[in-house]
Amino acid sequence: GAGVSQSPSNKVTEKGKDVELRCDPISGHTALYWYRQSLGQGLEFLIYFQGNSAPDKSGLPSDRFSAERTGGSVSTLTIQRTQQEDSAVYLCASSREGRLIQETQYFGPGTRLLVL
């Protein structure tokens, strides 16, 4: 079946503008994750959704970042008043059920964000 998809694939924006990044997980996957990969850095966890449970937002770097997941499927990551340090690749992943120890996460191709 189809994998995780993300849109847009690339986004260039001006400092101070808001951006929205979209993630479509694999159908039937209840767990969804957002990560950020800055140049020369490892993947940094941002937020986790599991079914109808309250999301784990512990990785969000500031209150300018927020995310929601509607209907347990599509997720949107919003960055308000973007700063140049927000420039990174934002990766979304999904898994069948996040609590299972042995399951893998399936990653989307990412959105490359450049803040000028």
Partner 1 sequence: KQEVTQIPAALSVPEGENLVLNCSFTDSAIYNLQWFRQDPGKGLTSLLLIQSSQREQTSGRLNASLDKSSGRSTLYIAASQPGDSATYLCAVKSPGTYKYIFGTGTRLKVLA
- Write each residue from 62 to 81 as x if it is in contact with partner 1 (CB under 8 A), else as -, in one continuous string: --------------------
Contact of 24 with 93, CB cutoff 8 Å = no
Q: Does 25 bind partner 1 (CB under 8 A)?
A: no
Write b or e for each residue in 32-42: b if 16 or more Cβ atoms lie within 10 A of its Cβ, otherwise e: bbbbbeeeeee
Least separation in angstroms between residue 55's CB and partner 1 is 12
Residue carrying structure tokens 């929601």: 68
Q: Does 30 bind partner 1 (CB under 8 A)?
A: no
Task: Return the residue of 31, 77, 113, 115 that touches partner 1, per CB under 8 A.
Answer: 31
Residues 6+ apart with CB under 8 A from 100: none
Q: Does 7 bind partner 1 (CB under 8 A)?
A: no
Judged by CB, which is closer to partner 1: 4, or 88?
4
Burial (CB count <10 Å: 0-12, 13-18, 19+), residue 5: middle
Task: Return the residue of 48, 60, 75, 113 that touches partner 1, per CB under 8 A.
Answer: 48
Contact of 4 with 96, CB cutoff 8 Å = no
Q: Tell me which residues touch partner 1 (CB under 8 A).
A: 4, 31, 33, 35, 40-45, 48, 50, 59, 91, 93, 98-99, 101-102, 104-110
